[in-house]
Every structure is written in structure tokens, then in C-alpha cells.
Amino acid sequence: MPKEIKEQLREFFKAIKGDKFFHPFPFTKKTIDKITKADKDIYSVAIEEEKITGMFMLRGFDEGYDIPSFGIIIHPDYRGRGMGTSGLEEAIKICKRLECKKIRLTVDEDNKIAKRIYKKAGFKFNKNIGFKTL
């Protein structure tokens, strides 16, 4: 993994650190090392002018799960531009290519925007856990 990606991730983590909805892991150097060395888990970033503007992940493969757990975060300066929807669509395409039967996610009950996007994409919810059959 190029050194500049690690630096871009550090800057991105600083920008999202206080996000009230997204906190799947600590925003630390150790996490950056884990992300950049993932075996089967997928971490994808959007970059604009050498700055990470968003990141989605499909995790759980490294632990042996067949159903990946999806997560996405958009840099605060880039929200409201459709990046979340685009990232979700790309993650679903990847899961279909990998022949996953489902995709799962967890969403905060108060994150109305994300829930609307996920429901529109076909996720069915039981409280804050959503699944989409592929």
C-alpha cells in the first residue's frame, strides 16, 4: 500500500473522528495498518485532488463470514452529493460478483438519511440491522 494512502487515511480519520453515526473501529494508526493489509475484506476509497472524500468497506470475509458487513462514511465536506448512494451501489455490484447471497449493515436509528438510502436500495430492517438479498 502506498505511503501516501496511509497519510490520506490519517487525514480522513481526523475529519470524520467526531461523526455521531459512524464508529465501527477506532480511528488509529493500528486501524490504518489493518485496513491497508486486509486479505479478503474490501476497503474502497474515493479520492478527489489527493484527498479521501469517502470510504466504504465490506468486512467479515477475513473472519470467515459469507455475508459481508457494509459500512460507508463520507467526508463532511462532500456529503449531499450522492456519494453514499454511489458507494452502496458499487458495494452491491462487488458482492454480486463475489456471489454473496446477502449483504448486511448496521445503521443508527437516528440516521434517517442513511436509512432512506438503504431502504430504497432494497434493505429490510429489524431494528437497526439491515439485510439485502442479492
Residues of the chain with pLDDT under 70: 1-2
- The pLDDT, as a whole number, for residue 5 is 86
Residue 22 near residue 73 (C-beta atoms within 8 A): yes
The 10s digit of each residue's pLDDT in 60-77 is: 999 999 999 999 999 999
CA separation, residue 75 to residues 36, 63, 67, 114 (Å): 19, 28, 26, 14
- Fold of the 3-133 domain: Aminopeptidase (3.40.630)
CA-based R_g, the chain, Å? 14
Kindly state the helix (H) or strand (E) to which residue 69 belongs, with its residue range. strand 69-74
Answer yes or no: are the C-beta atoms of 60 and 68 closer than 8 Å.
Answer: yes
Q: What is the pLDDT of residue 25?
A: 86
Domain boundaries, the chain: 3-133
